[in-house]
Amino acid sequence: MDTGHAPLGGAHGPEPGGTPQGAAPHQPEPGPGPGGPGPGEESPSRRDEQSRTAPGRRQRPAEQAEPAWDPDARGPQWIKPLILTGGVMALIGALFFGLWTAAKNEKPAAPVATPKPSSSLPSFPTGKYGFAASRKTDKTPLTVKELFGKAKFATKGRGYVRTVWRKEKRCEDGVNGDKIKKALRSGRCTQLIRASFRDTKNKIIGTVGVANLATSAAAKKVATAGGGKEREDYLKPLPGKDEATKQLGNGDAYAGGWTYGHYAVLLWFQFKDGHKPNKNELKQLYRAANDIADQTVFPALEHRSLTGGRRA
């Protein structure tokens, strides 16, 4: 569309984008009080009394006379303990021998195989834009609703309304300028979707377009094609039927572009009356473009960067 005024070339914009509880301290067992025994202990006097009264060995009845000592009777008195002790030692030895034999014959436990990580786990693309860095990892085509499904929204008290949208049959049909058309062709553009908006004060109007390129490098070439003080390569404004956006393309405008992975986000923003914006007014146009893209395009593209597909 020949507007009669070349759009101002905006500078290439920025690429959008308990405490564990400790264990309770160990409580010491209560000790004996001053001069007394602790819990579970007996007093020394009671222990002595029990020691004195407890039978140490069986008492012979008083009426039995103790037999006279016979030197020849020593044998049975000392041989029997030795025989008993020898039996106990033999039993202990047999026990230890059995334990040693069992330990010797025990087979070592088979080593447990460490599971190997599955090679089928999906790999997440590295880089700033994830899956959206290339169409190879982000193959699902864009949809109009995915990008521009919000008809009304507000940002920090500034309200906006979408008035019209359009999906181009050929990417080149949505732009003006030989350089940008060439960049779209060489970048293998498959889609260009545009939508137009107005602010709720009916002062600022604009068009946002998203081009689907093969790579991030191709998207950058499209977004920067024809950049300069006055651009000759830019997104075509898309007029609506309402009183405000039907003025799109009449007068001076801010035109520019951003990139998000393999997508080029192209802009045309102007005042409704078409006057040439001063420096402060250019900031207002740029802010409106940011507001609208942040509510529409970028959430959709960010989802693609994480998943490689469109939002449900």
DSSP 134: B
**All structural domains of the chain with their residue ranges:** 130-307
Q: The tokens of 181 are what?
A: 């058309």
For the stretch 97-133, pLDDT in tens is 565 555 555 555 666 666 555 544 456 787 899 999 9
Nearest to 208 by CA among 188, 163, 238: 238
In sign, the C-alpha dihedral spanning 74, 76, 80, 83 is: positive
Q: Which residues of the chain have pLDDT under 50?
A: 1-4, 11-85, 88, 119-121
pLDDT for 159: 98
Q: Which residue has the tokens 């499209």?
A: 222
pLDDT for 48: 42
Nearest to 132 by CA among 307, 290, 266: 307
Facing residues of 159 across strands?
154
In sign, the C-alpha dihedral spanning 38, 44, 48, 53 is: negative
CA dihedral in degrees (222, 228, 232, 237; nearest 10)?
A: 70
pLDDT for 138: 97
Q: Contact, 281 vs 287, CB < 8 A?
A: no
Q: The tokens of 180 are what?
A: 């940008």
Which element (helix H / strand E) includes 258? strand 254-260
Q: Are strands 254-260 and 8-9 parallel, antiparallel or unpaired?
A: parallel
pLDDT for 105: 59
d(CA 281, CA 275): 10
Q: At what angle do helices 216-224 and 178-186 cross, to 10 degrees?
A: 170
d(CA 200, CA 275): 19
d(CA 206, CA 204): 7
pLDDT for 75: 36
Q: Contact, 192 vs 174, CB < 8 A?
A: yes
pLDDT for 279: 94
Nearest to 258 by CA among 227, 231, 219: 219
Q: Contact, 179 vs 225, CB < 8 A?
A: yes
Q: Contact, 134 vs 214, CB < 8 A?
A: yes
266 Cβ contact partners less than 8 Å away, ≥ 6 residues apart: 175, 208, 209, 210, 211, 222, 223, 234, 235, 255, 256, 257
